[in-house]
Amino acid sequence: MKTQILPDRQSIVVLPLLATAAVLVPVMNGLAAPGSALHLSDHLVPLLGKYACFALLALSVDLIWGFCGILSLGHGAFFALGGYAMGMYLMRQIGPRGVYADPILPDFMVFLNWKELPWFWHGFDWFPFAALMVLIVPGALAFIFGWFAFRSRVTGVYLSIITQAMTFALMLAFFRNDMGFGGNNGLTDFKDILGFPLQSASTRIVLFVLSVAALACGYLLCRWVVNSKFGKVLLAMRDAESRTRFLGYRVEHYKLAVFTLSAMLAGIAGALYVPQVGIINPGEFAPANSIEIVIWVAVGGRGTLAGAILGALLVNAGKTWFTGALPELWLFALGGLFVFVTLFMPRGILGAAGDIGKQVSRWLASRRPPPPLSQAAE
């Protein structure tokens, strides 16, 4: 399926909406009187922040799937690794306020009778180091994985399967207590970030604004990439990889670069997600999570960037409602939605909206009276 890049007027809609959300949510939470229709309760602020993180994650998948043709079913792993990097920093900030009051070892290590901090935990008490690891760890995994996969010319469904296998292997590894990441329970009971209490309403507002700002920056970065010469090569690879390779382009290098960038974006999304939900555990590596991300992109419209954001917001809002009202029907609704989109809206919501707009324009053009003969002669 060929997908054209939408014109930059798309950004004229997306960016003001994100800016409006970044301003409106804090105002409705802090200034509107409790009980009024305009008031936004404290528990909704981190929920909306979580949606923004999911939208950034969907954006990272759309960058490689919609514009490069790489269907990754393992992006949940990059998201989780970014989340674990942030979770390790937050655990180191607990210190003597933990259950076992150890200033060095996290509570779960004391409980498991660990004697010293593992080497890979060192440095995570310093925020700049943890922030760097949020980018380096997912990026390094994507680079190493992509180096072998793309040089071996693994494509299509085979690439999708091995990305899912990678995610499943990481999930099994992180479930082990001897890995040093909290095992089945993961990392939780965070207290503060950069000295600010995580339970404070003002901290939650700041995290929400940062999540929206990261989403806007991620969108601008992806838009710049796909509109550049590099992005044109990505489109050529997606539509005719063999021909692009024949023209002299090192296809594996382009794939490796965009795959690594996409993983870093997913890691940032995971790092912003963890302090807002208060936990990170191996369940985030579950292959079903990565499949659900692909559904978000398909629903919104792959190859559009804005469609990935829209799909993530709509599907997760529906998930919140369904799991609260009809939890046993959510998976059926999600599967039915994916089947419906695949059969009746293969280009997603934005693609269907564009097709309807074109049909309306043609109908309006057909209703216009023909020009006078004298004007036609001129």
**Domain ranges, residue 67:** 19-288
In three-state secondary structure terms, 194 is coil
- 230: its two tokens: 């590099």
Closest to 288 (Cα-Cα) out of 77, 137, 87: 77
Q: Does 36 reside within a domain? A: yes
What separation in angstroms does the CA of 54 have from each of 212, 329, 369, 374? Answer: 11, 22, 49, 59
Q: State which amino acid sits at residue 274.
A: V
Whole-angstrom distance, CA of residue 92 vs CA of residue 83: 14
Q: Does 213 reside within a domain? A: yes
Q: Does 331 reside within a domain? A: no
Q: What is the DSSP letter of 47?
A: H
- 378: its two tokens: 């001129």
pLDDT at site 33? 66
Q: Does 249 reside within a domain? A: yes
224-253 pLDDT, tens per residue?
Answer: 999 999 999 999 999 999 999 998 999 999
Within 13 Å of residue 188, how many CA atoms lie on the same side as its CB? 10
Q: Does 63 reside within a domain? A: yes
Under 8 Å between Cβ of 319 and 50: no
Q: Does 212 reside within a domain? A: yes
pLDDT at site 330? 87
Closest to 284 (Cα-Cα) out of 145, 135, 171: 171
At residue 279, what are phi and psi to the nearest 5 degrees?
Answer: -160, 150
Q: Does 300 reside within a domain? A: no
Q: What is the DSSP letter of 207?
A: H
Low-confidence ranges of the chain (pLDDT < 70): 1-7, 33, 98, 101-102, 370-378
Whole-angstrom distance, CA of residue 226 vs CA of residue 234: 8
pTM for this predicted structure: 0.92
pLDDT at site 121? 95
pLDDT at site 373? 56
At residue 367, what are phi and psi to the nearest 5 degrees?
Answer: -85, -10
At residue 265, what are phi and psi to the nearest 5 degrees?
Answer: -60, -40
pLDDT at site 3? 45
Whole-angstrom distance, CA of residue 32 vs CA of residue 154: 54
pLDDT at site 268? 98
pLDDT at site 6? 45
pLDDT at site 215? 97
Whole-angstrom distance, CA of residue 11 vs CA of residue 23: 18
116-159 pLDDT, tens per residue?
Answer: 999 999 999 999 999 999 999 999 999 999 999 999 999 889 99
Q: How many domains does the chain have?
A: 1
